[in-house]
Amino acid sequence: MAQQQPTEDISYELALKLRDLEENNRLMKERILLIGQNLIESQERNRKDVLEMKKSLYLLESDIKRIKSVLESLSEEISKSARKEELAILHRQYKMFEPLEYIRIQDLDKLIEEKMKRHHENNEKTKSEQNKNEKHFWVGKT
């Protein structure tokens, strides 16, 4: 029996070590599974984040393109429009000529004719008055 005890002790110890190793192996498998699941979850989160970033980047790019096109059209419109200095020059030129102050030749001819008629009529009136005055002046002296 003395010999059996050391073999039993050895087999008992081996069984304990084997059980410990199996337990460690099971724990390692569980840890590896947890690590694998965490890795898969983090990869999925990273993929979702990357997709969201790509979408937002695409939206930003399209916004930037629209802003660029608006800026280009605005710059074209601004270059086509007159500047303040140009408007001031045009205003001064307008003031120099003032088209409403000018008269057509036909209108000028009419004005001259009217003035001439009035002047002629005034001359005739003054002559007739002078003639009357002269007649009155000599009336009693002859």
List b or e across 48-57, with b for residues whose CB sees 16 or more CB atoms inside 10 angstroms: eeeeeeeeee
Q: How many CA atoms lie within 13 A of 82 on its CB side?
A: 8
Q: If you average pLDDT over residues 9-22, what whole number do you get?
A: 90
Residue type, 76: E
Please give the pLDDT value at position 60.
96
For tokens 């003032």, what's the residue? 98
In the chain, DSSP assigns E strands to none
On the question of pLDDT at 142 being above 70, the answer is no
Residue 79 confidence class, pLDDT cut points 50, 70, 90 = confident
Count the helix, strand and coil residues of the chain and give each as a percent rounded to the nearest 5: 90, 0, 10
What's the pLDDT band for 82 if we cut at 50, 70, 90? confident
Give the model confidence (pLDDT) of 28-51 as tens digits: 999 999 999 999 999 999 999 999
pLDDT above 80: residue 6? no
pTM of the model: 0.43
Q: b/e map of 24-34 (b: 16 or more CB within 10 Å)?
A: eeeeeeeeeee
